[in-house]
Amino acid sequence: MMSADEDRLAGVKELNPDLMNPKRFLIITFLYLFGPKTMAELQRALRFTWGDLDSNLKRLKGRGYVELKKVFTLRGPRTMVSITEKGVKEYERLVDKLRDILTKVRTS
């Protein structure tokens, strides 16, 4: 039988490392809460550098968690970023696991 510490550690090891990155967590949380946004809106809201935003979006896109789509607006072309169904599922799974870990800590 596992000790309480081993049980908590096992829960931490199950956390999605791609989404646990602080910047990627903020991006995916923002998209989950507020829906699709342009890259400029994300950059302004999260106060990331363009390089940070771009590299983290590439990682999330590569994992299938976000989708980037070029759209044409009155102000010119923009890149829209939206969370995918897979991204929603992984984000909710991560939040549930974090909630489970907190529950275990509080009850031990």
What pLDDT score does 83 carry? 98
Query: Each residue of 42-78: pLDDT tens digit?
Result: 999 999 999 999 999 999 999 999 999 999 988 899 9
Query: Each residue of 21-41: pLDDT tens digit?
Result: 999 999 999 999 999 999 999
pTM summary value: 0.86
CB atoms within 10 A of CB 104: 13
| Proportion of the chain above pLDDT 90, given as a percent | 68
What does the pLDDT average to over 81-101? 95
Domain at 35-108, CATH class: mainly alpha
What pLDDT score does 107 carry? 82
| 7 against 56, higher pLDDT | 56
Contacts of 98 (CB under 8 A, 6+ apart): 15
| 80 against 7, higher pLDDT | 80
Give the DSSP H or E segment for 25.
Answer: helix 22-34
